[in-house]
Amino acid sequence: MASDPKMIPQSGLLSAEANQAAALATFGGVLTVDLDAIIANWRKLEKTAVPAECSAVIKADAYGCGAEQVARALNKAGCKTFFVATIEEARKVRAAVPEPTIYVLGGYFQNTGEHYAQINCRPVIGDLNELAEWDVFCRRTGWNGGAAIHIDSGMNRLGLTLAEAQAIIPRINAGDHGITLVMSHLVSAEQLNNPVNAKQLAAFRSIASEFSGVPAALANSSGIFLGAPFQFDLVRPGAALYGVNPTPEADNPMQPVVDLKARIVQTRNVERGESVGYGGTWTARRPTKLAIIAVGYADGYFRAASSNDGTRGAEVIVAGKRCPVAGRVSMDLIAIDITDLPPNAARRGHMVTLLGDGITVDELAHHFGTIGYEVLTSLGRRYARIYKGGNVVEPLAKPASASTAEQPPSPPPVEQPANPPPRPS
Ligand SMILES: *Cc1c(COP(=O)(O)O)cnc(C)c1O
């Protein structure tokens, strides 16, 4: 990708990398989302959960990866059900994919029935007030597009209590109830041995069995790996699709999806005893060489990844080697200690890797003091965005190394024509 600095024009033609670097010349960072990796992750989860249906949770702009691009790619790969958080998110997804079922997880708001009908998507009803209002809307308009019932099995966030759910069973038995899914959500699915898993499973299983003929869903990404009893008729993975480890107590079975590179603005030498960055919290203990890169906390690289004289911060890959952050991460810039690199290995204009090439979302989350989910949903809006793959049907007669997605024509546009232009900074 744009990381390779050795862009030497050959026989009058620029290399693909040179073309891309030229197209991206104005961007401080380049974010690449590998749609093929998302598809491979979805297929792996689908296989693990078979015979249950595998949906895809694409709320929060598909965890920062781009809801429209992800929905299109996964729909082509065979995914038929999507979950978003809000009706506004559903609207964007519906514009990208006309066919599949879309559920809205985040609660049914007052007077919004028409919006669900307009784009044919389904609310996840999590409260008796919501259910009553939804019923009124459906009766008044004749809308029969379906809704899910969310049952609380221990999260105490959204969902009908078990008693409330019990009370609507007669309606299910009466038929023509408009309930297309019954679901609950796990509290601590990523902890294999947490007894709350079995407790929630037992509670949900007994109530779901009374919703006769209604498909049931309990498992998020991690829940899928708790085993077949948790998988029911449909599973709802989110984070694992985007490369977050759903089994943090074991190796990550998912492929990495996001690659983030930043440009070296300049390199500079610092004398021993000099401090670097805001607050002067990091002191050079030897004659030091720094690379200053054009990404900062405003781009979603958390300030918590800073280093100081007491603590090491995060690492960045420069010229193939891991190098530590030097001093505080600032809004738009970070200093990297590249003293240990061979002379001239890193130069102005070269790209360094912040995420990818072995730096995982979970590793960054550790340095940021958070979870992979927040790393992804915080990814900045100033990057040039590149989408790789996602075509599902193989393009004809293309050399294996020359996917069109990776090689925009020269000069710009930055992305392949099927994708929207990079977000303005
Ligand atoms: C976000 C969400 C999911 C997906 O969870 P992951 O841990 O990202 O797989 C599934 N179900 C519900 C109700 C959610 O809110």
Q: Which of 54, 2, 70, 65 lies closest to 30 in space, CA to CA?
A: 2
| Radius of gyration of the CA atoms of the chain, in A | 24
Which ligand 1 atom sits nearest the alpha carbon of residue 239? Answer: 8
Residue nearest to ligand 1 atom 4, measured at CA: 238
Give the Å distance between the CA of 384 and the centre of ligand 1: 28
Q: What is the pLDDT of residues 210-241, one digit of tens each?
A: 999 999 999 999 999 999 999 999 999 999 99
Residue nearest to ligand 1 atom 10, measured at CA: 220
Give the Å distance between the CA of 182 and the centre of ligand 1: 15
Mean pLDDT by 10 residues, the chain (425 residues): 42 60 88 98 98 98 98 98 98 98 97 98 98 97 98 98 97 93 98 98 98 97 98 98 97 98 97 98 98 98 97 96 98 98 95 97 98 98 95 51 40 40 42
Which pLDDT score, from 0 to 100, does residue 283 have?
A: 98
Strand partners, 260: 31, 355
Strand partners, 356: 359
Q: Which of 197, 195, 179, 177 lies closest to 187 in space, CA to CA?
A: 197
Superfamily of domain 51-242: Alanine racemase (3.20.20.10)
- Tell me what percent of the chain is helix, strand and coil, each rounded to the nearest 5: 30, 20, 50
**Catalytic residue IDs:** 59, 278
Residue written as token pair 């779901």 = 208
Q: Angle between the 67-77 and 35-49 helix axes, to the nearest 10 degrees? A: 50
> What is this structure's pTM?
0.88
Question: b/e per residue, 57-75, with b = 16+ CB within 10 A?
Answer: bbbbbbbbbbbbbbbbbbb
Strand partners, 266: 292
- CATH topology assigned to domain 1-35+257-425: Lyase, Ornithine Decarboxylase; Chain A, domain 1 (2.40.37)
Q: What is the pLDDT of residues 15-34, one digit of tens each?
A: 666 667 677 899 999 999 99
Residue nearest to ligand 1 atom 15, measured at CA: 105
**For the chain, domain boundaries:** 1-35+257-425, 51-242
Identify whether the C-beta of residue 37 lies closer than 8 Å to the C-beta of residue 243.
yes
Which pLDDT score, from 0 to 100, does residue 2 have?
A: 42
Three-state SS string over 68-85 comes to: HHHHHHHHHHCCCEEEEC
- For 186, the token pair is 């796990």
Q: The sheet that has 122-125: what strands, in order across it?
A: 53-54, 234-235, 216-217, 179-183, 147-150, 122-125, 101-104, 81-84, 56-57
The 10 Å Cβ neighbour count of residue 138 is: 18
The 10 Å Cβ neighbour count of residue 337 is: 24
Residue written as token pair 């598809």 = 39
Give the Å distance between the CA of 128 and the centre of ligand 1: 22
Q: What is the pLDDT of residues 170-210, one digit of tens each?
A: 999 998 899 999 999 999 999 999 999 999 999 999 999 99
For the chain, the average pLDDT equals: 90
Residue nearest to ligand 1 atom 3, measured at CA: 220
- Residues lining ligand 1, judged by CB closer than 6 Å? 57, 59, 105, 185, 220-221, 236-240
DSSP 38-100: HHHHHHHHHHHHTTSEE-EE-HHHHHTT-HHHHHHHHHHHT--EEEESSHHHHHHHHHH-SSS
